[in-house]
Amino acid sequence: MEDSLLLARAQFGLNIGFHILFPALTIALAWYLAAFRIAYERTRDPRWLATYTMWVKIFALTFAVGVVTGVTMSFQFGTNWPGYMNHVGAIAGPLLSYEVLTAFFLEATFLGIMLFGGKRVPDWLHVLSTILVAIGTTLSAFWILALNSWMHTPTGQVLQDGQWIAGDWMRVIFNPSFPWRFTHMMLASILTGSFVLAGLSAWRLLKANDELARRTLRIGLLTAAICVPVQVWVGDQHGLNTLEHQPAKIAAMEALWHTESGMPLVLFAIPNEKERRNDYAVEVPYAGSLILKHDPHGTVRGLDEFEPDRPPVGPLFFAFRAMVGIGLAMLAVSWIGAWATRRGKVPPRWMLWGLSGFTFAGWAATLCGWVVTEVGRQPWLVTGLLRTKDAVGAASGAELGASITSYAITYSLLFFAYMVVLTHMAGKGAGE
Amino acid sequence: MTMDLALVFMAVMGASVLAYVVLDGYDLGVGMLMPAASEEQQSTMVASIGPFWDANETWLVLGIGVLLAAFPKAHGVVMGALYMPVVAMLVGLMLRGVAFELRIKALGWHRELWNWLFWAGSFGASFWQGVMLGRYITGFASGFGYWLFAFVVGASLCGGYVLLGATWLVYKTEGELQRKARAWSRWGLLWVAFGVALVSLATPLVSETVRAKWFDFPRTLWVMVLPLATGVAWLALWRATRYNTPSRRDWLAYVLAVAIFTLAFLGLAYSLFPYVVIDRLTIWEAAAHPSALRAIFVGAAIVVPFIVAYTILSYRIFSGKADKKLYD
């Protein structure tokens, strides 16, 4: 039973972890494309159209992978977590339905017009289609994050006939963690898209002094340079929100085994689950309380107060540090890059190599962030209402093993092909 | 009077699944027909489905979404029982969806590989959807005979999708490819006649519930309208694909193929109603909490008219013969 729970979680994690990469990129790219398309409409400068035409191809490919991996998700809820729908289906069902109805059809249909309708429809309709696709991607994130946030910080539900139903939909949707989670994820998407835009443009500039790539490099870097600091602030607020509503998650992220006043900030350590302490810890005294309580002597509740309902420390501790580390590196890279591209300058080659290397930094940070928040919710599927182990299905270990293998092979093939095509298209540039 | 929302959502789910089958059915069918065409014809074939396949697939997500949201107990039972066929089907859908984009961007043997994966993915997705249907009809009964039945349904659904794909090509193409598509349509028709006849005869044999439904006089006389109408549509489609001359009613063949599918679907719906999992769960037993059904109903009532409207808009924009330069 324990094993099949672990396998079910591994399989779901693999699917959703692979899936999230693509929407995270398409949400931002859709808005970038809308901006390029509008810029062309206003200026009639053919360079905007060339930029649009090149990036719309990358968008189409990314979107396709997002769609097909998303279809998988719609089956996964039932195959892996039938107990989820039995207990909270009256809340999850409508939110998922709204996502399909308001977002999926909108983006899929207008994507067809956006990709192939350029010569068949009037300009205004083509611009509108591009904007509607962007709205669709964002609405999709809105609904799914509303549901996800409700699973973290449920409010507005009432127990009736043995299942949780919505007492107040506004409180279900706008639950306490939703505003911060949604903003945090939108910014994560913008940063993912901006670094892809800048990174692939830098890749192109390594091959040729392409005017269009210079421009997209600048746009990506400037957007990132502005948005990373905002993200740092939003991330901090999201963390304080988590401290209020899911203190066990924060304790695990900070590897705080016991309640402390004047808690240090652990920069590095090897959390020791067995003995409930940190080995080889490097700490900054009082800094933990200062960050979390804005008071060096503030008291922060440790893991001992939540036993046994607390998440595992290792994954959260390391994933959180990786996310923050990547985020700070992105801050440095975007600022240095923005400085190096001022007034139409082209950065030196070593810097272009560095920027190319940071193309997928947003993906890495996003994945780390999701590990922190989702593993951090354990052992709950819906905090305080439903445990993950009570929702797992009856699939056998053999079925789960075979399906994980099938998905892993398929995803590896898709990912490899996606990367090959992406670098190839980016290397060719918009002009050719 | 209060509305029976379980019944309403049964209809919504049925309509979504039917929409999925006749819409994604044609693009899966076109995928399966790819190896039978020249390279230039393949470009036209892909162009005929390029603007639509994405939205077509969304109907599957809606159908499964309604099953999940409106009949959660059934979703757990159905998806649990169909675990491996679902995985196989999804792998097929993933490969073909991505192959769409990649085959155009690839060159040389890479393109050949993605063409092959496009075909294999379309074929696999169709076959396993049929297997899912076959398993579903028999209530997931175990035993060699039942699995054989499911595989026969899988093969038949491939024939059905080939028919939809071929008639779609009759509508969207011209010249040599259109002539080929007419011939393919007839092969598809024969395949479908065999499959539908076999499944219609076998289903009452494997399920007592279905047998009781169809052999209950005098109602039997009324429901015989369904097989008769199917026969008429079949003959009309055979006629519509007879001449090798272009006509102004190229769309007729596809519409008749949709009619055959709709009639077969109604027959199936009649066989199963009111069960959502045959002999185990009725739609009322499986239905979600009334508050959830109401919430989804309000949203659907507002949004579905818009979906229908812009779907029609999209088909109007891309009406007429497919442009093989679509992807250039």
Residue in B65, B91, B317 nearest the CB of A406: B91
The confidence score (pLDDT) of residue B19 equals: 93
Strand partners, B281: B277
- Contact between B256 and B236 (Cβ < 8 Å): yes
Residue of A nearest to B286 (CA): A86
* Cα–Cα distance, B11 to B287 (Å, whole number): 13
Contact A90 B68 (CB under 8 A): no
In Å, the largest CA–CA distance within chain B is: 65
Residue in B62, B84, B318 nearest the CB of A402: B84
Question: Which amino acid, A14?
Answer: L
- Contact between A255 and A317 (Cβ < 8 Å): yes
Which residues from chain A sit within 8 angstroms of residue B295, using beta carbons? 94, 166, 169
- Contact between A116 and B51 (Cβ < 8 Å): yes
Contact B292 A65 (CB under 8 A): no
Residue of B nearest to A101 (CA): B303
Distance of residue B178 Cα from the nearest chain A Cα, in angstroms: 22
Query: Which residues fall within 8 angstroms of residue A94, CB to CB, at 6 or more apart?
Result: A166, B69, B292, B295, B296, B299
Contact B58 A100 (CB under 8 A): yes
**Helix/strand/coil (H/E/C) assignment for every residue in chain B:** CCCCHHHHHHHHHHHHHHHHHHHHHHHHHHHHHHHHCCHHHHHHHHHHHCCCHHHHHHHHHHHHHHHHHHCHHHHHHHHHHCHHHHHHHHHHHHHHHHHHHHHHHCCHHHHHHHHHHHHHHHHHHHHHHHHHHHHHHCCCCCCHHHHHHHHHHHHHHHHHHHHHHHHHHHHHCCHHHHHHHHHHHHHHHHHHHHHHHHHHHHHHHHCHHHHHHHCCCCHHHHHCHHHHHHHHHHHHHHHHCCCCCCCCCCHHHHHHHHHHHHHHHHHHHHHHCCEEECCCEEHHHHCCCHHHHHHHHHHHHHHHHHHHHHHHHHHHHCCCCCCCCCCC
C-alpha B175 chain-centroid distance = 27
Distance of residue B227 Cα from the nearest chain A Cα, in angstroms: 33
Token pair 């004047």 is at which residue? Answer: A262
Per-residue exposure over A306-339, b if at least 16 CB sit within 10 Å of its own CB, e if not: beeebbebebbbbbbbbbbebbeebbebbebbbe
User: Nearest CA to B52 among A184, A249, A116, A29?
Assistant: A116
- Contact between A313 and A252 (Cβ < 8 Å): yes
The confidence score (pLDDT) of residue B243 equals: 67
Cis before residue A379, ω within 30 degrees of 0? yes
Contact B69 A64 (CB under 8 A): no
Which residue out of A53, A71, A396, A407 would a mutagenesis test of the B interface target, given it has the greatest number of B Cβ atoms within 10 Å? A71
Residue of A nearest to B65 (CA): A97
Residue A423 in contact with partner chain B when CB distance is under 8 A: no
Reported ipTM: the value is: 0.84
The confidence score (pLDDT) of residue B250 equals: 85
Number of A/B CB contacts below 8 angstroms equals: 205
Dihedral angle sign, alpha carbons of residues A60, A61, A66, A69: positive
Which residues from chain B sit within 8 angstroms of residue A92, using beta carbons? 69
The list of chain A residues with pLDDT below 50 reads: 432
Cis before residue B218, ω within 30 degrees of 0? yes
- Contact between A316 and A343 (Cβ < 8 Å): no
Residue A259 in contact with partner chain B when CB distance is under 8 A: no
Mean pLDDT, rounded, of chain A: 89
Which segments of A358-391 does DSSP mark as H helices, in order?
A: 361-375
List all residues of chain A from 28 to 67 with a beta carbon under 8 Å from chain B: 57, 60-61, 63-65, 67
List all residues of chain A from 327 to 386 with a beta carbon under 8 Å from chain B: none
Q: What is the pTM of this model?
A: 0.89
Q: What CA dihedral angle connects B189, B192, B196 and B197, to 10 degrees?
A: 60
Which residues from chain A sit within 8 angstroms of residue B87, using beta carbons? 402-403, 406-407
User: Nearest CA to B101 among B260, B326, B313?
Assistant: B326
Residue in A68, A93, A115 nearest the CB of B292: A93
Q: State pLDDT tens for residues A100-152.
A: 889 988 998 899 899 888 888 899 999 999 999 999 999 999 999 999 999 99
Residue A43, both tokens: 């200026």
User: Nearest CA to A396 among A87, A11, A94, A114?
Assistant: A11
Q: What does each of the 328 residues of chain B score in pLDDT, given as a tens digit?
A: 467 888 888 898 899 999 999 999 999 999 999 988 888 888 889 889 888 888 888 888 888 888 888 888 888 888 888 888 999 999 999 999 888 888 877 777 878 888 899 999 999 999 999 999 988 888 888 888 889 888 989 999 999 999 999 999 999 888 888 888 888 999 999 998 988 888 888 888 877 888 888 887 777 788 888 888 989 999 988 888 886 666 778 888 899 999 999 998 998 888 888 888 888 888 888 888 888 888 888 888 899 899 989 989 988 888 888 877 777 6
Residue of A nearest to B328 (CA): A116
Which residues from chain B sit within 8 angstroms of residue A86, using beta carbons? 72-73, 76
Contact A105 B291 (CB under 8 A): no
Contact A399 B57 (CB under 8 A): no
The confidence score (pLDDT) of residue B1 equals: 43
Cα separations in angstroms, A25 against A20, A28, A147, B266: 9, 6, 21, 42
How would you classify residue B189: left for phi > 0, otherwise alpha for psi between -120 and 50, otherwise beta?
A: alpha
Residue A176, both tokens: 């306490």
Contact B72 A85 (CB under 8 A): yes
